[in-house]
């Protein structure tokens, strides 16, 4: 091991790696600075344990422990059924959000699209439209909302952060225009059964089945399909992607439309689960959705991240919120924890990277004791003299 790493990789560009390495990177034990004891301890872990997903697993275990200490009901099957059920809208929206963030954009309007979809569903149903048609209409509306976002981002070259912050207010406002502070709640049992009900003989909520199917589909799309590959390319380097013939704008537009569609679908699920269509449904959900995606290891600047990570982080947020609710902590206070996690999730990958660098430095330092001994003689005056000789030897 130590032998092989002393062999210099032949065609590696030294200058490139020199700039990539941290300026403080010490290669020799003598000058080890800035690597703290805890970093060193962690750097001894095997590779897979230092990955972001491993950290998420630890976090998930911690929140499970927290949950079970906070309430005796936490570890019951029915509570888990409830916990999962409660996360479904956010889970659905996190799927498309993952794609959008990997492509280097963001969609903050999802919760507002959800709210708008919910009230339009309630309004059209209560005005006599068949439920199936109303759902189709609402999905179409969601896709249209996404189209508006996407066109503003791609055709007008506006930053998605600003565009979707605007439509966050706009779509929510439209929801109030449609229904004011009224609510529709007399949905047919067939519809609400989908929301409340579970797969017969189990405690698995129906919306969870929908999520699993979509999650598998999206995993395939992101990690195996050509579209997924192009999404990563766009997020890593938009210009190089364009130069490779990738239709950057079309793909981004598609992603925003998908995001709107998914938010509307989440709106249908939400309405069914609560048998309730109100303009303030899912207010503020975008915080959780963005947190889930970033905590899941998706780079806020695009180009990297994975759906398995996002699913893990989904469970963490779900468990955390559920545990805090069981302990009678209100949603607003829970937001403190979620907000902290959001910041941690952007900060965290940097820390992990530092650890990995520390580990590679450690390997480097261990690799070359021979080199160290050999060069210990260098420095003093006699070397300076011989240097001068060499310099003029030609």
Beta carbon nearer to other proteins, 6 or 44: 6
Beta carbon nearer to other proteins, 237 or 325: 237
> Which whole-number Å values give the CA distances from 279 to 115, 122, 147, 290, 318, in the listed order?
6, 10, 21, 21, 24
Residue 155 interacts with other proteins (CB under 8 A): yes or no: no
- DSSP states of 270-285 as a string? HHHHHT-EETTTTTTH
Q: Contacts with other proteins: how many residues (CB under 8 A)?
A: 62
Contact 170, 108 (CB under 8 A): no
- The sign of the CA dihedral 35, 36, 37, 43 is negative
Cα-Cα-Cα-Cα dihedral of 65, 36, 358, 293, to 10°?
40
Beta carbon nearer to other proteins, 89 or 105: 105
Beta carbon nearer to other proteins, 100 or 241: 241
Q: What is the SS3 assignment for 296?
A: coil
Beta carbon nearer to other proteins, 161 or 220: 220
Q: Which of 1, 3, 14, 77 binds other proteins (CB under 8 A)?
A: 14
Q: Which of 1, 3, 23, 37 binds other proteins (CB under 8 A)?
A: 23
| CA 93 – CA 110 distance, rounded (Å) | 7
Cα-Cα-Cα-Cα dihedral of 359, 364, 368, 373, to 10°?
-80
Closest separation between CB of residue 378 and other proteins, Å? Answer: 4
Q: Which of 3, 181, 239, 328 binds other proteins (CB under 8 A)?
A: 239
Residue 17 interacts with other proteins (CB under 8 A): yes or no: yes
Long-range contacts, stretch 359-368, CB < 8 angstroms, 24+ apart: 359/43, 359/44, 359/50, 361/25, 361/26, 361/27, 361/35, 362/40, 362/43, 363/5, 364/5, 364/27, 365/26, 365/27, 365/28, 365/29, 365/32, 366/2, 367/2, 367/5, 367/6, 368/6, 368/27
Task: State the binding string over 350-379 for other proteins (x if CB under 8 A, else -).
Answer: ----------xx-xx--xx--x---x--xx
Site for other proteins in 255-314 (CB under 8 A): 303-304
Residue 241 interacts with other proteins (CB under 8 A): yes or no: yes
Closest separation between CB of residue 157 and other proteins, Å? Answer: 15
- The sign of the CA dihedral 169, 90, 55, 234 is negative
Q: What is the SS3 assignment for 330?
A: coil
Residue 25 interacts with other proteins (CB under 8 A): yes or no: yes
Residue 31 interacts with other proteins (CB under 8 A): yes or no: yes
Q: Which stretch binds other proteins (CB under 8 A): 12-20, 101-109, 314-322, 335-343?
A: 12-20
Closest separation between CB of residue 25 and other proteins, Å? Answer: 6
Closest separation between CB of residue 18 and other proteins, Å? Answer: 5
Contact 150, 253 (CB under 8 A): yes
Residue 8 interacts with other proteins (CB under 8 A): yes or no: yes
Residue 12 interacts with other proteins (CB under 8 A): yes or no: yes
Neighbours of 231 (CB within 10 A): 27
Task: State the binding string over 96-135 for other proteins (x if CB under 8 A, else -).
Answer: ----------------------------------------
Beta carbon nearer to other proteins, 12 or 347: 12
Query: Residue 47 corresponds to which tokens in the numbers above?
Result: 């590779």
Residue 142: CA count within 13 A, CB half-sphere: 31
Binding residues (CB under 8 A) for other proteins: these are 5-6, 8-21, 23, 25-28, 31, 220, 224-227, 229-230, 232-233, 236-237, 239-247, 303-304, 360-361, 363-364, 367-368, 371, 375, 378-379, 383-384, 387-388, 390-392, 394
């Amino acid at each position: 091991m130590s032998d092989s790493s002393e062999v210099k990789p032949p065609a590696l560009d030294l200058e490139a790696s020199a700039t990539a390495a941290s300026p403080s990177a010490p290669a020799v034990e003598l000058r080890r600075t800035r690597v703290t004891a805890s970093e060193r301890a962690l750097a001894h872990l095997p590779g897979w344990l230092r990955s972001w997903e491993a950290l998420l697993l630890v976090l998930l275990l911690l929140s499970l422990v927290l949950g079970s200490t906070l309430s005796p009901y936490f570890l019951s099957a029915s509570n888990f059924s409830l916990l999962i059920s409660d996360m479904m809208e956010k889970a659905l929206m996190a799927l498309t959000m993952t794609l959008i963030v990997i492509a280097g954009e963001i969609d903050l309007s999802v919760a507002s699209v959800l709210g708008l979809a919910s009230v339009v569903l309630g309004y059209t149903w209560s005005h006599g439209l068949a439920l199936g048609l109303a759902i189709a209409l609402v999905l179409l509306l969601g896709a249209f909302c996404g189209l508006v976002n996407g066109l503003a981002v791609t055709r007008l070259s506006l930053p998605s952060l600003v565009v979707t912050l605007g439509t966050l207010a706009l779509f929510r406002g439209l929801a109030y225009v449609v229904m004011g502070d009224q609510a529709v709640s007399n949905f047919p049992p067939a519809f609400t059964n989908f929301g409340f009900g579970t797969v017969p003989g189990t405690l698995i909520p129906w919306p969870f089945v929908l999520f699993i199917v979509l999650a598998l589909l999206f995993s395939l799309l992101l990690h195996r399909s050509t579209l997924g590959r192009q999404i990563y390319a766009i997020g890593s380097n938009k210009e190089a992607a364009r130069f490779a013939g990738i239709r950057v704008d079309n793909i981004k537009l598609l992603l925003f439309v998908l995001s709107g569609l998914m938010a509307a679908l989440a709106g249908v699920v939400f309405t069914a689960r609560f048998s309730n269509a109100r303009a303030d449904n899912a207010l503020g959900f975008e915080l959780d959705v963005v947190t889930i995606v970033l905590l899941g290891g998706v780079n806020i600047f695009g180009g990297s991240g994975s759906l398995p990570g996002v699913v893990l982080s989904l469970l963490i947020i779900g468990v955390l919120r559920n545990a805090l609710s069981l302990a009678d902590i209100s949603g607003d206070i829970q937001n403190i924890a979620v907000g902290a996690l959001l910041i941690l999730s952007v900060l965290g990958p940097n820390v992990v990277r530092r650890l990995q660098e520390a580990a590679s430095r450690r390997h480097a330092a261990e690799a070359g004791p021979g080199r160290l001994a050999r060069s210990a003689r260098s420095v003093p005056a006699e070397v300076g003299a011989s240097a001068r000789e060499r310099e003029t030897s030609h």
